[in-house]
Amino acid sequence: MKIIITMLQIYLVWLTLSLFEKSSGQIVITQTPASLHVNPGDRVTIQCKASSSMSNDMALYQFILGQKPKLLIHDATSRFTGTPDHFSGSYSGTDFTFTISGVRPEDAAEYYCGQGYSTPFTFGAPTKLMVKQRDDAAPSASIFPPSQEQLKTNSATMVCLVTGFYPSDLNVAWKADGKAVTGDVQTSSAASEADKTYKLSSTLTLSRDEYNSHDTYDCEVTHKTLTKPLVKSFRRSECPS
């Protein structure tokens, strides 16, 4: 019997499957790829393979953080009401293919295959679709030493501000006198700017004694646009005392 899985069922089944091990008789869905990073207008496919025969009762769901899951395609090939026509599906035996032709920025989301042919309903691992918003951009960085007022409290916090980069994946490392620092490092999540680039900040906090035991402090930034790390530095001995 064919079953179209409702939005509430998606939540309940997914939670159930995460709490209990797979039973020997259930249909296992193998979904690939795990992620896609594409340009607007590209064509992408999501492959879903069932572990046993299940007719055509496979669906594709879209999940965007902060929104309810959305059923896009049911019965392998049928678009659900309101699904844009650049989404399509096909199948052969236990192999199911979902295609997004002419990817749009708003298609960035996680996608799940799900079968409603037999209980327990089962889902594949998500495919995360990331849609490029702009050309790659190299980061700029600035480093700021601790203030004299803070040093009076026996603590020293240095700040590294990194701006203007795309995509958002970026790493910040701290060094003191050329060696990695094991102090309290806090790096924020990348935040989007109006021009679609990103910014973040990273702080290194040491005791005043530890801070005074080194002279040169480096903020080292790595990003896909850089052929070598971007390094910003200051010398404690040159800071106002």
- 228-241, pLDDT tens digit by residue? 999 999 999 998 86
Is 234 among the domain residues?
A: yes
The reply to whether 1 falls in a domain is no
Reported as a pLDDT band with limits 50, 70 and 90, residue 19 is very low
Can you tell me the distance from the alpha carbon of 197 to that of 189, in angstroms, rounded to the nearest whole number? Answer: 13
**Domain match, 21 and 123 both:** yes
Same domain, 12 and 126: yes
Decide if 56 is inside a domain. Answer: yes
**Domain boundary pick from 96, 131, 166:** 131
Domain boundary among 131, 159, 182: 131
Q: Given pLDDT bands bounded at 50, 70 and 90, which one contains residue 9?
A: low
The domain of 45 spans 7-131
The reply to whether 111 falls in a domain is yes
Q: Which of 168, 124, 138 is nearest to 34 (CA)?
A: 124
Chain segment 44-81, per-residue pLDDT in tens: 999 999 998 888 999 999 999 889 999 999 999 999 99
110-131 CB burial, b ≥16 within 10 A, e <16: bbbbbbbbeeebbbbebbebeb
CA distance 183 to 170: 20
Name the percent of the chain lying above pLDDT 70: 89
* Alpha carbons 177 and 104: distance in angstroms, whole number: 47
CATH of the domain at 109: 2.60.40.10
- What pLDDT is stored for residue 183 in this prediction? 80
| pLDDT band for position 133 (cuts 50, 70, 90) | confident
Average pLDDT over residues 96-104: 96
pLDDT beyond 60 at 165: yes
In a domain, 2, yes or no: no
Is pLDDT above 90 for 4? Answer: no
63 shares a domain with 158: no
Does 193 share its domain with 108?
Answer: no
18 and 122 inside one domain: yes
Mean pLDDT for the stretch of residues 6-25: 47
Answer yes or no: is 20 within a domain: yes
- The average pLDDT across 144-168 equals 95
Distance CA 211, CA 100 (A): 54
In this structure, are 176 and 89 located in the same domain?
no
Are 19 and 119 part of one and the same domain?
yes
- Domain membership of residue 41 (yes or no) is yes
- Domain assignment present for residue 211? The answer is yes
What CA–CA distance (Å, rounded) separates 73 from 29?
A: 16
- Cα dihedral 40, 91, 75, 113, rounded to 10, equals -60
- How many separate domains does the chain show? 2
Q: Is the pLDDT of residue 14 over 80?
A: no
Is residue 146 domain-shared with residue 84, that is, in the same domain?
no
Name the band, by pLDDT with cuts 50, 70 and 90, for residue 23. Answer: very low
Q: Cα angle at 145 between 179 and 241, to 5 degrees? A: 110
Q: Could you tell me which of 82, 79, 81 has the C-alpha nearest to residue 90?
A: 79
Q: Residues 157, 89: one domain?
A: no
In this structure, the answer to whether residues 163 and 230 fall within a common structural domain is yes
Residues 191 and 225 placed together within one structural domain of the fold = yes
